[in-house]
Chain A
Amino acid sequence: MAKIKDWRLVLIVLAGLLVGLELIGYGIEIFGWSRKPTGDADNTAATKTLKEFQSQNALLTGRLKALATRGVFIIIDTAENRLYVMNGEKVQKEVVVSCGSGDILEETGGTRKWIFDTPRGEFSVTSKLVNPTWIKPDWAFIEEGEKPPANFNERVDNDSLGSYALGFGNGFFIHGTLYTRLLGWNVTHGCVRAGDKDLEEVFRQVPMGAKIYIY
């Protein structure tokens, strides 16, 4: 019986200590230095009138809006495997695509390594190709367990990229695919695959130099 009472006492003291600790922490936050931001915002704020702040606010939001991309551009969501053709703030077309798998390929006995990610950030359409030809890079052979050929002709593939391709730098393309069942999945080597019909529309709507935002 005495033991149970002792344990109860220990628990009460412990709970009291924890609550006390948290109260001290909150006390420091509320009354101490820790929630004071750096800089003297209040002093600077006091020197201007409300109207001045309002006009500055309108000016700044206007400047931000002016930076937005105008005309037709592309947004690609690599997590959801979606491509959006935008015209200003309006979504002109939504396409189910396939983006990079994130897989790693290491050359057996070699030093080379590839990470199959779709690059993220801001890009531009640098080329528009009809019936594109894929010049297969070394990794395409290594992945199949083959040795990369010395003969250039063995690298030429006229079928895999579909009917259209939009290049956005460093060998990356938005292109067609033979594997339409895999659209909507992260299965590519970094390029963005789309169905031929959708891609044809994207190809027609998006001009050379249009911005591409990938996240």
Chain B
Amino acid sequence: MRRTWLFLTLAFIEGLSGFAQERTKLYEKNQFYEAELSLAKLRGTYMVIDLEQRTVSLKARGMVLRKWPIQRTRSWGKVVPLKIYRMEKKSALAQPERPNITPGREERPKADKEKIDEVDLGILELKDMPVHFRLHFGQSLHISVKSRTRRFWQALVNVGKTISWHIFLPLKTIWFTLGKKTFAEIELVMPSEKDAQGVYWSFLDGQSMLIFQPKK
């Protein structure tokens, strides 16, 4: 009899806890939708990083124009408050450079007959984008994006970043805690180089971004 009561009490507590969790989850999701509605009403595109679903989406008017999967994610610092962020800048060790046209020089083949695969078109393409970069949203939020890569220098950067993640960011956490300041550093690992490059290509300076990071 006692066992049954104990079991029932535990089941009741578990049920209550699940109920509260469900309510908090819905509350957070609704807050997120309200923020997205304010963006979707405006003209133009915006980015949504959903850390629960592990996706980065480029959206307009609530429609998904393009979606990239995130393989894994981790973070240091504060849970990112739900608000609209504007991207200030992108930074990468090797930023892609725009080619300059020399006036009067034949820059690219103009006839159909020419074999374009054998000619350097001198253009900025998706494959020229970095696979490891940081997106800056003011002082308090930085997002690192990387992917597994076979490129030597990028792989070296990834190793450096891993070391920094385990030494520099714990130090930063302690330092900011003592100084009563806030910061959030999020790392997104994309499944392929092309996904990381696609995110770099699509994130524009000044672009609006929403991030959904449910409480742990």
Which residues on A are within 8 Å of B, measured CB to CB?
Answer: 18, 21-22, 24-26, 28-29, 32-39, 41-42, 44-46, 48-50, 53-54, 56-57, 60-61, 63-65, 67-69, 75, 77-80, 89, 101-108, 115, 120-122, 142-146, 178-182, 185-187, 213, 215
Contact = CB atoms under 8 A, between A and B. Distances in A.
Contact of A144 (B104, B113, B174): B104
A108 B103 contact: yes
Nearest first, the 8 closest Cβ-Cβ pairs linking A and B are: A145-B104, A25-B170, A102-B124, A60-B33, A53-B26, A45-B27, A64-B62, A37-B79
A150 B62 CA distance: 48
Given A41-B215, A67-B62, A122-B44, 20 more contacts: A25-B174, A29-B76, A37-B79, A42-B24, A45-B24, A48-B27, A49-B23, A53-B26, A57-B26, A60-B33, A61-B33, A103-B122, A104-B99, A104-B101, A122-B61, A142-B103, A181-B114, A182-B109, A185-B121, A213-B45
B173 interface: yes
A79 B76 contact: no
B187 interface: no
A121 B44 contact: yes
Interface stretch (B6-14, B35-43, B87-95, B154-162): B35-43
Given A38-B81, A79-B201, A21 B45 contact: no
A36 B33 CA distance: 21
- Which size class do B's interface residues fall under? 35 or more
17 contacts: A21-B171, A25-B76, A34-B77, A34-B78, A34-B173, A37-B81, A50-B23, A57-B26, A67-B61, A68-B63, A69-B60, A79-B126, A101-B121, A122-B45, A178-B112, A186-B123, A213-B65
Nearest to A84: B65
Given A53-B26, A61-B33, A25 B125 contact: no
B139 interface: no
Contacts of A142: 103
A53 B123 contact: no
A154 to B, nearest CB: 18
A181 B23 contact: no
Contact of A182 (B116, B176, B198): B116
Contacts of B202: 79, 215
Nearest to A50: B23
B51 interface: no
Contacts of B24: 41-42, 45
Interface string B103-136: 1110111111110100001111110000000000
Contacts of B41: 67
B33 A64 contact: yes
Contacts of B126: 79-80
Contacts of B77: 29, 34
B3 interface: no
